[in-house]
Amino acid sequence: MLSAAHFPHRYPVSRRVRNIAPSATKEMALVAAGIEGCVSLGQGVPSFATPTHIVEAVTRVLQEDPGSGKYSLQTGMAALRRRIAAYLLAEKNIRVDPEREICVTVGGMEALLTTILTVVDTGDEVILPSPTYASYIEQITLAGGSPRFVPLTDTWGLDLPAIRAAITPRTRALILCNPGNPTGTVFSDDETLALCRQAVADNFVIITDEAYDYMVYDGDMPLSPLSMDEFRDHVISIYSLSKKYALTGWRVGWVAAAGGWMEQIMKVHDATTICAPTPSQFAALAALDGDQSCVAAMRAELVKRKELCCARLDRLSSSFAYVPPKGAFYIMAKYLFSQASSQEIATRILQEARVITIPGGSFGTGGEHHLRLSFGGEPQVIDEAFDRLEAWLAKSAAA
C-alpha cells in the first residue's frame, strides 16, 4: 500500500505523522492476514481468555448501574484509583496519592504517549537502551524528539558507560522497559538505581514501563524506583493490565507520578481520550480486587511455553543463538544462517514457511539480524511454528 507520503499534495499530512511508521508487529500481522494458514510467533498476546470472574463482574455492573456506560472522571473512577494506590503500596512499596498521582489510561500505550508528549519537546532526545519496544520510537518521533539508541550488551544487559556517554544537554528522558520487550531481560535493581542517580545528576526523567512486572521467571519483581523518595521527581511509571489479566482488548492501564508531573500529563490525557473506557475500568477493578490465582495459572503456563520455545530453539542451535529470557514472553533469536536483513528473513519465513515472526531491526539498534519470537501462543501453535521453521531451514540450507 502506498502511504500518504507518496501523494504529498493530495493528502498534505503533517511532517510529524509522515515521520512515523506503523509498528512492524502490526504490519506483519496485516501481511499475514492475506496468507492462508499462518501460525504466529509474532504479536505479544497471550492466548488466554479474560478470566470469567472479570467478565461476570463487568456484565453485572453494566446491567445494574446506569452510570457504568458513561464517562468517568478524567483521572479514572475514584474506587479504581484507590485500589491501584493500595496495590502499588502492597506490591511495590510505592506511595502515591490516588487523588493526584494516578491517571487511569487507555492501556499502557496511552500512558506512554501522554507521558512522552508531556516530557519531550521538539529537538529533545530520549535514550533507549536497545533493542527496545518499537512503539517508543514512533511515540518519541511523534512528539518531535529523537530516540538515542544505546545498544544493550551481548547478554542484553545495560551498558552504563555507553548510556553516560550518550547523555547530552537535550536528553529529557530514558525509557526503561523492565522486564524487557523484546529481549526478555530483567534489569537488576543496581542497574536501575545507577540510572536513577544519573537522571538526578543530569536532570532527566526515567520512564519505567512495567507492563511485564508480574512475569519474572526466577526471583522477585524488579525494583520500581518510584518507591524511593529521592527519585520521585525523576520517575514516571507506566502500568498495563493487558497481559497480566488477559485484558489486551479492554485497553486499560495507568500512569503513576508525582503530582507536579501528573497535572501536566492530565492535560494531554483529557485532550486525547477524556477518560479510559468506564466498563474497562470496572474490569480493572474486578481484576485487582479478585482472586489472583488466574495470574498464577497463566504465569505457570507461560513458564511451560518458555521451556518449550527454548527446547525447540536448542534443537536449531546451528541456525539460532539466543539469551534465555528472564521475564516477559519474548526471545530475541539471532539467526546464524544468513547475513540478510531481519525484514527480509522475517518476510521469507512468513511467505515460504507461513510463520509470523517480528524482524529484530524494528526494535532499534542492536536488534538487526534477530527475530523476535513470542511464546504467548498455545503450545501446539509453538510446536507447529517450529516444525515449519525446521522444514524451511532444511529446505533453504539444501537450496
Ligand X SMILES: Cc1ncc(COP(=O)(O)O)c(C=O)c1O
| Residues that bind ligand X in the complex, under the rule CB under 6 A | 44, 107-109, 133, 177, 181, 209, 211, 240, 242, 248, 253
Compute the distance between CA of residue 49 and CA of residue 85 in angstroms, rounded to an integer.
26
Closest approach, Cβ 208 to ligand X, in A, equals 11
- Shortest reach from residue 109's CB to ligand X, in Å: 3
Neighbours of 309 (CB within 10 A): 27
Distance, CA of 399 to CA of 397 (rounded, Å): 6
Cα first-last separation, the chain: 31
Residues 6+ apart with CB under 8 A from 280: 247, 250, 251, 252
For ligand X, which is the closer residue by CB, 242 or 281? 242
Q: CB nearest ligand X: which residue?
A: 107
Whichever of 29 and 109 has its CB closer to ligand X, that residue is: 109
Rounded Cα distance, 233 and 314, in Å: 45
Cβ nearer to ligand X, comparing 42 with 98: 42
- Smallest separation, CB 44 to ligand X (Å): 5
Give the Å distances, CA to CA, from 166 to 66, 117, 148, 172, 364. 53, 21, 7, 12, 15
Give me the helices (H) in 274-292, please: 278-289
In the complex with ligand X, which residue's Cβ is closer, 211 or 316?
211
Cβ distance to ligand X smaller for residue 287 or 353 = 287
DSSP strand pairing (39-40 vs 355-356)? parallel
Q: Which is nearer to ligand X, 44 or 98 (CB)?
A: 44
Residue 107 or 319: the one with the smaller Cβ distance to ligand X is 107
Q: 205: buried, middle or exposed (CB in 10 Å: 19+, 13-18, 0-12)?
A: buried
Contact 81, 75 (CB under 8 A): yes
Q: How far apart are CA 180 and CA 213, in angstroms?
A: 9
Neighbours of 229 (CB within 10 A): 8
Among residues 319 and 330, whose Cβ is nearest to ligand X? 330
Cell of 330: 519474548
Least distance (Å) between residue 113 CB and ligand X: 10
Nearest approach, Cβ of 268 to ligand X (angstroms)? 16
Amino acid at 386: F
Q: Residue 130, Cα to own-chain centre: how many angstroms?
A: 13
CB of 180 to ligand X, least distance (A): 8
Torsion angle (degrees, nearest 10) of CA 159, 160, 161, 162: 50
Q: Closest distance between ligand X and the C-beta of residue 274, in Å? A: 17
Least distance between ligand X and beta carbon 10 (Å) = 32
